[in-house]
Amino acid sequence: MSRSRRPLLIFLMTASLLLAYPELGLAGSWKFEFDARDDPSLTYSQDGKIIFLLSCGHAFALHAKYPGTPKTSGSASIEISNASARMTLRGEFEEPTADDQTTFVQWDLGFARQDPELYGKRWDKVSSRLLDLIAKADPLTIASGHQRYEIPRVDVPGWRRPIEKCGRGP
């Protein structure tokens, strides 16, 4: 093979791999951590910006980059899915900050703060379904209408149990 064709061959092989496995081209990573109050959070960042955040503190929060063009305020819904399950989340639009690109938020899995079912049996069922969906996703798809994006499988250990304890106290 001539030297002049080598760069072209390398480029074509790399392009083929990225087309076959688009997740290889993503500059993203999962992170699980506790804040100063010992509240857990699971984040997925891409290019240094958070695009997915699941956290528990004063409230259970799910923030995600809205697929498509987000509004600056008002009601919104997204569908989160894996190969075998899907779940519609109703929330609201939010303004992104300097550290994140999230433009959708849902608080307490849609339960009202005064709802006696918040952190009760029905809460456990919805929470477990969401956490199962996230844990088994490869990839995790976030969609609204025809717009969608994918996040690779969660690859950080030990994230689920602390988030399951949300609302249960120490």
Residue 21 domain-assigned (yes or no): no
Residue 129 domain-assigned (yes or no): yes
Residue 145 domain-assigned (yes or no): yes
pLDDT above 70 covers a percentage of the chain that reads 84
Residue 6 domain-assigned (yes or no): no
- Indicate the range of 15-24, 57-66, 147-156 predicted with least confidence: 15-24
Res 21: pLDDT: 47
Domain count, the chain: 1
Cα–Cα distance for residue pair 134/51, rounded to 1 Å? 15
CA 128 to chain centre: 16
Question: Coil, strand, or helix at residue 40?
Answer: strand
Residue range 32-71, pLDDT digits in tens: 999 999 999 999 999 999 999 999 988 999 999 999 999 9
Give the strand order in the sheet containing 140-144.
28-34, 40-46, 49-56, 60-64, 104-107, 86-93, 75-81, 140-144, 147-151
pTM as predicted? 0.82
For residue 92, the cross-strand partners are 75, 105
DSSP 85: -
The domain in which residue 59 lies consists of 27-164
pLDDT above 90 covers a percentage of the chain that reads 75
Task: Give the model's confidence band at 167: pLDDT under 50 very low, under 70 low, under 90 confident, else very high.
Answer: confident
Residue range 81-114, pLDDT digits in tens: 999 999 999 999 999 888 889 999 999 999 999 9
Residue 4 domain-assigned (yes or no): no
